[in-house]
Structure 1
Amino acid sequence: MSPKASVTNLIPLLDIEKEIARWNTVYKVLTEPKPDIVSTQREIIWKKNKSTLYYHPAKEKKYQIPIFLVYSLLNKPYILDIGEGSSVVGGLTERGYDVYFLDWGSPGYEDNDITLDDYILDYLEKGVKRALRHSGAKEISMIGYCLGGTIAAIFASLTKLPIKNLVLATVPIDFSVGIVPDKWLKGLQKGIINFDRLSEVYGVIPSEIMYGMFRGLSPVYVSPMINLISRAHDAEYVKKWRQMDKWTKDSASFSGAAFKQLFNDLYKDNKLLKGELKIGGRKVDLKNITCSFYVFSTSRDTLILEEQSLPVIDMVSSKDKTYQVFEGGHVSLALTGKFAIFADNWLSIRSQEI
């Protein structure tokens, strides 16, 4: 075998045209403006301070009971309505549900004293009341995603409003475990790491700091460039990559008072799991949840571990309750459209078909 043939066998010849196209795509993606996010058809039905409640009508209404979506306070919520073919909201409206979606907004400095109590008992409570009035429905289904699921569970345990079904996706309930490095987590739990001073200095945690925190904690912020380079020939993937890239870099700010509660009551003291959390002076007891209850996790979640979600299934009093694990990741659950499929499979027989 000639030396030239040996080299060729060891190092396959490159498809020059394909490689040029690949790197042209990568260059274009990195230099062009961020994509516009086109929301599913919607109208504003209520506003409070920076928060907005959107109504997304079903394309062909099939169910009497509407859905109320609750997303995390830590990120902007349009990941659940990021564009046709990838939208959780769009997937649900296509399946015949009216959807109400609460966008918490980004607090300004004047909102530094807004607490989790305020968000849950004032903003969310009033938003659900407005959705019930607008829909004319006697009951509502609530879906909470990530920390939005934690908020939804707390709310459902406290409210007297008629929640028919509660769905929690990739929800943190046990904060004694997680993606945070063990030394950091132990530091938080022992009070060695404390965010009170940060909250007090800034009043409202800037979006740049929130982005930096998430970038440092999860590989979801490290690996996308490799994925883009390897799949630059796939136009549909590049489209979703651009949407995802915009969302990850478009962080929300966070009220200092709520930030302190989040890290002290949940991450440090794990009060929700222990039954010691108080909201509005009332103890949060997840046993108060008796509605139909569905929780699902994903097998490759790099943000919320299954161990953080699993305890909740035994903490609620619901007789009709289901727990499942699906193949996928934390964010791909939304971007692939699977979220709406999983939710619909469970909700469809519990939503009073017209």
Structure 2
Amino acid sequence: MPEQQLSPGSHAAAIVPKVQAPAPVSLPAAKAAPAVQPAGASPGKSQLAAQQLDEAAHALLSRAAMGLSPISLALAWADWTMHLAVSPGRQSTLAQQAMQLAADLLPAQPGTAQPPERDDRFRDPAWQQWPFQQLKAGYQASCAWWEQAVKVEGVASHHAHLVNFFTRQALDALSPSNFALTNPLVLQAARATAGGNLAQGAQRLAQDLAQQAAKGAQADAPLQPLPYGVGTDVAVTPGKVVYRNHLIELIRYEPTTATVHPEPVLIVPSCIMKYYILDLSPGNSMVRYLVGQGHTVYIISWRNPDATDRDLGMRDYLRSGVMDAMAAVAHTSGARRVHAAGYCLGGTFLAIVAAALAGHTAAAPAEAHPLRRQGDIADLPTLASVTLLTTLTDFSEPGELGVFIDDDQLRTLREEMARTGFLSGRQMAGTFQFIGSRDLIWARNVRRYLLGEEDHPNDLMSWNADATRLPERMHSEYLQSLYLGNALATGRYRVGDVAVALSDIHAPLFVVGTARDHVAPWKSVYKIHLLTDTDTTFVLASGGHNAGVVSEPGHARRSYQMAQRARGQGYVTPEDYAATAPTHEGSWWEAWSAWLAEHSGPRVAAKPIPADMALEDAPGQYVHQRYAD
């Protein structure tokens, strides 16, 4: 079917007219702040030239500081250094701790039991032999001392976070496991292969450096194919694209059971990632699992934006993304109630929409909800439940990403995006790689360049290489209002004329945090308990931000804790929750599927997707959009 052509300003218009979305909710565009002019001055060429000179200087400094603001870094170190310099008592305590740690390095008495090693880098028994045990112990003592040294009273919390983060980054880089002569596993491999591991590693290093240089030299470097093909190896659960606009494709999956629950499940993944992290290879696919449990599943596939999309803002992602998808689910399924699940930033979008639409029912009079006065939302279904996966709603403690977010860092980022119109996938991937440098950089370098082992990508690693962009305006609004302003948690976020209060959400909540999440720390995810008063089931799953969510049944060493707080029940701190919530072995998917079934009506006969609603086969077009940057 031919697609309707869009004018440059009609981002939210439907491309394919088969499924009509409701009239868009009126969400006013954010206005750019006017430039501040000196008294008596008028803008002219000289001022523009001065601004361009400033931005060029900032860009050079940012590149030298690996994309960060050198001013923010300098202020953080100066704050810590000056407070430590005027704290002789703290200096004395640190000196005593250093002496104690040095004394602890003395050889232990024979037969003394050693505590179990918690650091994966040093678990191999070879690290217990001389001299590697001493190298490891000295390194760990240094890490322990620096962990205390960065704690100085009076230092601003953000500056303390910066100092702590970059100190850990430096210490991770200096680990004895990263160097051939101080890593017993590398030396063992060198003896076994007569140095072949080092020769192979040097070869791979030269290849990688040459490939990286070629990318930098070519403005339009060719894209390397993904190890796992999208639509052939991953994203293969049978389904159809049933709705498309400029921002999203909506995929509906074919039923595989004779009967299904009457309420469909709409999944809102993060626009920071390709949706198929939830539909990886068949054994790792959350979508396939839910379909197999009798759920009718829909999922949003976000369009990967380009420079023409620079003016897409948060309002577009809420309206043309979540709200239009909800309307399309109701239209194509006939259901008036849906379960909605959001992942990461998609969960934040979903929480905003759920709160903004709170109180909306199909039978409510037109004047009952402010959004009805701003646009026709009669076609939107009600929410039978809301599931939030590793989702921040309170951004006061955002984890490691907070290192990169302050006023000066955002100015640097805005100036960079102003030149391109988007935050590139390479920048975003670099940020997450930096946060997880111990595993994603140093451990990989040891395997590839010192042990001479070839990478063996899996479906999750392949997905991780399929980077996405974010539009300039949306990314700026998201960081400014949520990360810096924490507007959602404090009731200052607005959708059109509607003030969003998460306490207005009365649908039952299923919330998942993961134990080793550096992007959305589970204790910050847990703060949803302070912002809502509804039945809330909280799950703390093993694993990290991605691997803890992709937790298919049968995966070894997976477990989760789960507890419910009924509406009106008293608050339980995250520490008390962790100490008392029952632990279950296996995948939390099974508990979630059962929870969804409990909040659903009696099962009905499954029906295939009507042919006249299918635009094309899943995974659709948008997921294939990739860029070399």
Which bin holds the TM-score, normalised by the shorter protein? Answer: 0.7 to 0.9
Partner secondary structure for residue 282 of structure 2 = coil
**Does 1:53 pair with 2:255?**
no
Corresponding residue number in structure 1 for 2:394? 174
The answer as to whether partners of 2:541 and 2:588 remain within 8 angstroms in 1 is no
Instruction: Give the drift of 1:316.
Output: 1.9
Identical pairs, percent: 21
The answer as to whether partners of 1:221 and 1:248 remain within 8 angstroms in 2 is no
**Does 1:277 pair with 2:497?**
no
Superposed CA RMSD: 3.1
Aligned partner of 2:311: which letter? D
Deviations 1:135-179 (A, max 9, x none): 111200001111111111011111234000001111112222133
Corresponding residue number in structure 2 for 1:322? 537
Structure 2 CA distance for partners of 1:228 and 1:272, relative to 1, 3 Å: farther
**Does 1:41 pair with 2:238?**
yes
Please say which of residues 34-43 and 89-98 is displaced more in the overlay.
34-43
Structure 2 CA distance for partners of 1:56 and 1:340, relative to 1, 3 Å: farther
Instruction: Give the drift of 1:203.
Output: 1.3
In structure 2, distance between residues paired with 1:136 and 1:227: 55
The answer as to whether partners of 2:248 and 2:320 remain within 8 angstroms in 1 is no
Instruction: Give the drift of 1:344.
Output: 0.7
The answer as to whether partners of 2:388 and 2:510 remain within 8 angstroms in 1 is yes
Corresponding residue number in structure 1 for 2:316? 118
**Does 1:287 pair with 2:287?**
no
Corresponding residue number in structure 2 for 1:62? 260
Corresponding residue number in structure 2 for 1:208? 426
Instruction: Give the drift of 1:225.
Output: 3.1
In structure 2, distance between residues paired with 1:154 and 1:353: 29
**Does 1:353 pair with 2:602?**
yes
In structure 2, distance between residues paired with 1:163 and 1:228: 48
**Does 1:146 pair with 2:344?**
yes
In structure 1, distance between residues paired with 2:466 and 2:443: 15
The answer as to whether partners of 1:313 and 1:323 remain within 8 angstroms in 2 is no
The answer as to whether partners of 1:88 and 1:339 remain within 8 angstroms in 2 is no
Deviations 1:193-212 (A, max 9, x none): 22332332221222222222
Instruction: Give the drift of 1:313.
Output: 2.1
Partner secondary structure for residue 96 of structure 1 = coil
Partner secondary structure for residue 192 of structure 1 = helix
In structure 1, distance between residues paired with 2:248 and 2:278: 16
**Does 1:300 pair with 2:516?**
yes
Instruction: Give the drift of 1:66.
Output: 0.9
**Does 1:98 pair with 2:317?**
no
In structure 1, distance between residues paired with 2:356 and 2:297: 22
In structure 2, distance between residues paired with 1:309 and 1:93: 27
Structure 2 CA distance for partners of 1:181 and 1:250, relative to 1, 3 Å: closer
Instruction: Give the drift of 1:228.
Output: 7.7
Aligned partner of 2:543: which letter? G
Deviations 1:85-129 (A, max 9, x none): 101111111111010000111112111111111110232211111
In structure 2, distance between residues paired with 1:347 and 1:288: 21
Gaps spanning 5+ residues in structure 1: where? Answer: 1-6, 230-236
Instruction: Give the drift of 1:16.
Output: 7.2
Instruction: Give the drift of 1:242.
Output: 2.2
Choose the corresponding residue for 1:164, options 373, 384, 387: 384
**Does 1:225 pair with 2:474?**
no
The answer as to whether partners of 1:167 and 1:343 remain within 8 angstroms in 2 is no
Choose the corresponding residue for 2:458, options 230, 242, 245: 242
In structure 2, distance between residues paired with 1:294 and 1:333: 15
Structure 2 CA distance for partners of 1:181 and 1:257, relative to 1, 3 Å: closer
Gaps spanning 5+ residues in structure 2: where? Answer: 1-125, 130-183, 209-223, 361-380, 449-454, 553-586, 604-629
Structure 2 CA distance for partners of 1:224 and 1:334, relative to 1, 3 Å: farther
In structure 1, distance between residues paired with 2:473 and 2:424: 13
TM-score (normalised: structure 1): 0.82
Structure index of larger Rg: 2
Structure 2 CA distance for partners of 1:95 and 1:198, relative to 1, 3 Å: same
Deviations 1:299-323 (A, max 9, x none): 12232101221111231232x2222
**Does 1:268 pair with 2:484?**
yes
Structure 2 CA distance for partners of 1:347 and 1:281, relative to 1, 3 Å: same
Corresponding residue number in structure 2 for 1:81? 279
The answer as to whether partners of 2:226 and 2:462 remain within 8 angstroms in 1 is no
In structure 1, distance between residues paired with 2:548 and 2:288: 14
In structure 1, distance between residues paired with 2:279 and 2:447: 22
Partner secondary structure for residue 93 of structure 1 = helix
In structure 1, distance between residues paired with 2:546 and 2:274: 13
In structure 2, distance between residues paired with 1:123 and 1:183: 29
Corresponding residue number in structure 2 for 1:253? 469
Corresponding residue number in structure 2 for 1:3? none
Instruction: Give the drift of 1:325.
Output: 1.2
Instruction: Give the drift of 1:270.
Output: 1.1
Instruction: Give the drift of 1:269.
Output: 1.0
- Give the number of the structure with larger relative contact order, counting CA–CA contacts within 8 Å between residues 6 or more apart: 1
Corresponding residue number in structure 2 for 1:234? none
Aligned partner of 1:53: which letter? L
The answer as to whether partners of 2:245 and 2:320 remain within 8 angstroms in 1 is no
Instruction: Give the drift of 1:55.
Output: 0.2
TM-score (normalised: structure 2): 0.48
The answer as to whether partners of 1:179 and 1:218 remain within 8 angstroms in 2 is no
Corresponding residue number in structure 2 for 1:4? none
Instruction: Give the drift of 1:75.
Output: 1.4
Structure 2 CA distance for partners of 1:223 and 1:47, relative to 1, 3 Å: farther
Aligned partner of 1:35: which letter? Y
The answer as to whether partners of 1:333 and 1:339 remain within 8 angstroms in 2 is no
Aligned partner of 1:139: which letter? R
